[in-house]
Homo-oligomer: A and B are copies of this chain.
């Protein structure tokens, strides 16, 4: 961060010039007749049409809305173009985003470069987020995730920092893979707001649930950890499912249920991995053995995303208060990176069940707006098993995917082939596809056709009737 914007105050410097992103026209977003009482935003990290189809095929069959995900039945549906720019010039489109640029686009309506948390590409200016606007307007706020609460998606709503990897005080001068990943301008002793964990501890957000004991336990130069700072700021801290379920609304709540990314709900039985398809000595194509999806034996005593969502809604909505809540199913992305089809499916189910929790609340609180969005596309593709070209003569070469393949045993019979073909190295890549958006409730009527990811900031802001004021002298 480097600008005159004052957190929680009214002086939103630089908003005017950032508003339209990289010269695009902001879609015509209408303000609803009456603002929503509350808004719950879900982010399926790495969700695109393909990842949704993979999970829906497994969970429900290849069915239409009536039998599919809860959000398949939402009234509003759109596609969102992902916009990211080069950090070098702050203007050239890059076509594939990450959770930091996508999170910043959604949270703050600003097109930025990959890795940046609510700051502008190249110029490193802080940009206000919908959560901060909601706070300033007196709404309660919450962030829920299955990743570390300091990870890029939740961070984009509450922190402002040059690099997503500066999660805790110990990361501020870090190196990753030979590249400097630190955030020297943001270190608190240099007058900056500190690491993401430090910023979260000072945020005043009412409910914070996810992983993150690691970044929260690293001491700053003053010797204080973000966890100590959070307690000093009045947070009640819980570290397991029982602690969460027993929490009340008397104090703001910080739930840290693991060191970083939380264990996922599903895994492949026996730890099966996606593997390359082989050609046998006799020239036969040999697919990896079919995987059976089972509950993850290492799930531990963390709460589910659905439990976190229900608790967050209960605490935030107590006494009829207005609130803004962001809920992220983070490991759809992380399991896709790791080529874990069963893991992806289980985390997409977790997203769906959490949305259902919000629908249950909306049933008795109809002035609640719900949005389901995504930050970027991902690599997994459903491919034919065997190849559609399997009958071609051998002189045309072996007909098999070049990357790793997971063959998933389907609960309704047969198998589904999932190909991971974007990177043969460390992990699969994000992809640049447009992503789906679903909306229901007051103010979500503008979620239609093709929008920019950054338009969602405006949709949320207007749905809640939040104003972005020009700087006051």
From known contacts A81-B62, A382-B96, infer whether A50 and B53 are also in contact, taking CB-CB under 8 Å: no
Check A92–B414 contact: CB distance below 8 A. Answer: yes
Q: What residues on B are CB-neighbors of A299 within 8 Å?
A: none
Check A402–B402 contact: CB distance below 8 A. Answer: yes
Is A290's CB within 8 Å of the partner chain B?
no
Check A432–B49 contact: CB distance below 8 A. Answer: no
* Cα of A27 to Cα of B384 in the assembled complex, Å: 27
Question: For window 358-402 of chain A, which residues contact chain B by CB distance below 8 Å?
Answer: 377, 379, 381-384, 387-389, 391-393, 396-402
Check B178–A93 contact: CB distance below 8 A. Answer: no
* Cα of A179 to Cα of B389 in the assembled complex, Å: 11
Check A431–B82 contact: CB distance below 8 A. Answer: no
Pick out which of these stretches binds chain B: A190-198, A236-244, A417-425: A417-425
Q: What residues on B are CB-neighbors of A94 within 8 Å?
A: 384, 414
Is A427's CB within 8 Å of the partner chain B?
yes
Check B384–A381 contact: CB distance below 8 A. Answer: no
Check B27–A93 contact: CB distance below 8 A. Answer: no
Partner of A419, one of B52, B422, B435: B422
Partner of A414, one of B93, B387, B451: B93
Is A250's CB within 8 Å of the partner chain B?
no
Q: What residues on B are CB-neighbors of A387 within 8 Å?
A: 423, 425, 429
Check A434–B65 contact: CB distance below 8 A. Answer: no
Check A114–B433 contact: CB distance below 8 A. Answer: no
Check B381–A379 contact: CB distance below 8 A. Answer: yes
Check A92–B413 contact: CB distance below 8 A. Answer: yes
- A330 → chain B closest CB, angstroms: 17
Is A79's CB within 8 Å of the partner chain B?
yes
Q: How large is the interface on A (under 10, 10 to 19, 20 to 34, 35 or more residues)?
A: 35 or more
Pick out which of these stretches binds chain B: A67-75, A214-222, A263-271, A349-357: A67-75
Check B177–A68 contact: CB distance below 8 A. Answer: no
A26 closest partner in B (C-beta):
B64
Is A151's CB within 8 Å of the partner chain B?
no
A420 closest partner in B (C-beta):
B421
Is A452's CB within 8 Å of the partner chain B?
yes
* Cα of A448 to Cα of B68 in the assembled complex, Å: 14
Is A294's CB within 8 Å of the partner chain B?
no
- A425 → chain B closest CB, angstroms: 4
Q: What residues on B are CB-neighbors of A455 within 8 Å?
A: 64
Check B66–A27 contact: CB distance below 8 A. Answer: yes
- A464 → chain B closest CB, angstroms: 22
Q: What residues on B are CB-neighbors of A167 within 8 Å?
A: none
Q: What residues on B are CB-neighbors of A417 within 8 Å?
A: 95-96
A454 closest partner in B (C-beta):
B64
What 8 A-B pairs are tightest by C-beta distance, nearest first?
A: A421-B421, A382-B432, A399-B425, A402-B402, A65-B450, A402-B424, A50-B433, A177-B391
Show the binding face of A for B, using Cβ within 8 Å.
Answer: 24-25, 27, 48-50, 52-54, 56-57, 61-68, 72-74, 77-79, 81-83, 86, 92-96, 98, 114, 176-179, 377, 379, 381-384, 387-389, 391-393, 396-403, 410, 412-414, 416-417, 419, 421-427, 429-436, 448-452, 455
A-B contact pairs, 19 of them (CB 8 A): A24-B64, A25-B64, A49-B50, A49-B79, A50-B50, A62-B81, A68-B450, A72-B450, A77-B78, A93-B412, A93-B414, A96-B417, A114-B388, A379-B381, A387-B425, A389-B427, A392-B425, A401-B429, A416-B432
